Amino acid sequence: MITLALFSVVGTAVALLLRIPLPPSIAARIAFVFLLGAGAHGAILFVLAAPGVRMNLWTFLAVPLLALVSFGVRRQRLRFSILPCHFESGSVASALQKIVFALPIAVLLFAAAVLPIRDYDGRVTWLPKARAIAIEQSTTGPFFQGERGLNLHNRYPLLLPLDAATTMVLSGDTRNEAARWLYVLIPIALFVVLRVMLSSAWIAAAMPWLGVLTAIEGGALAAYNDFALAAFLGMAVLYLLASLDQPAALRAVGLFAAFAVLTKNEGAMLALAILAAAVFVRRLKSIGEWLWMLVPVAAAEGIVVYWRTLVPAAYDEQYEVLVSSLPASLDRVPAAMLAILRHAADVSEWGGFWIAVAVAIVAVAVLDRSRRYVILLVTMALALAAYVVALSVTSWRIEDLAAVAVNRLLVHLLVPAACMLAMALRKTEPSAGVTPGP
Amino acid sequence: MRVAILVLIVASTVIAGAKRLADTARLSYQLARLPDLETRRATLFGPWYEGVQQLRRETPSDAPIDFVMLRPEARDIAVLAAAELQPRDVRLFDGWSAWERRTRAELLHDARAANAVPGPPPAPARFVVVVDPKGVQAFSLHTRAGSPRPQ
Q: Assign A435 a pLDDT band (cuts: 50, 70, 90).
A: very low
CB contact B82 to A (< 8 Å): yes
Q: What is the 3-state secondary structure (H, E, C) of A236-264?
A: HHHHHHHCCCCHHHHHHHHHHHHHHHHHC
Please indicate whether residue A150 or residue A307 has the higher confidence score (pLDDT): A307
Judging contacts by C-beta atoms under 8 Å, the chain A residues touching residue B15 are 351
Which DSSP letter does residue A285 get?
A: -
pLDDT tier, A89 (very low <50, low <70, confident <90, very high otherwise): low
User: Which residue of A lies nearest to B7 if distances are taken between CA atoms?
Assistant: A202
Asked casually if ipTM beats, i.e. exceeds, 0.90, the reply is: yes
Q: What is the pLDDT of residue A433?
A: 42
How much is the pLDDT for A80? Answer: 64
For the cut 60, the answer to whether the pLDDT of residue B38 exceeds it is: yes
CB contact under 8 A, B13 and A428: no
Confidence of residue B40 (pLDDT cuts 50, 70, 90): very high
Closest CA to A149 of A164, A133, A161, A132: A132
User: Could you read off the pLDDT of A116-166 as tens digits, one per residue?
Assistant: 999 899 999 999 999 999 999 999 999 999 888 888 899 999 999 999 999
CA dist., res. A307 & res. B19, Å (int): 43
More confident residue, B79 or B2: B79
Q: Is A287 exposed, middle or buried (0-12, 13-18, 19+ CB in 10 A)?
A: exposed
Mean predicted confidence (pLDDT) in A359-370: 89
CA-based nearest residue in chain B for residue A427: B2
Residue of B1, B2, B40, B48 to mutate for A, most A C-beta atoms under 10 A: B2
- Residue A358 pLDDT > 80: yes
Q: Average of pLDDT values for A45-72?
A: 90
pTM, to two decimals: 0.93
Chain B residues with beta carbon closer than 8 angstroms to that of A213: 13, 16-17, 20-21
Tell me which range, A84-93, A321-330, A372-381, is most confidently predicted by mean pLDDT. A372-381
- Please give the DSSP secondary-structure letter assigned to residue A126: I
User: Average pLDDT of A323-349?
Assistant: 90
A213 to B16: CB separation less than 8 angstroms, yes or no: yes
Q: Which of A100, A101, A114, A325 to mutate to test the interface with B (most CBs of B within 10 A)?
A: A114
Q: What is the pLDDT of residues A199-238, one digit of tens each?
A: 888 888 888 888 765 545 567 888 889 999 999 999 999 9
d(CA A42, CA A55): 11
Phi, psi (deg, nearest 5) at residue B58: -95, 0
The pLDDT value recorded for residue A434 is 41
Largest Cα–Cα distance in chain B? 77
Position B119 scores a pLDDT of 64
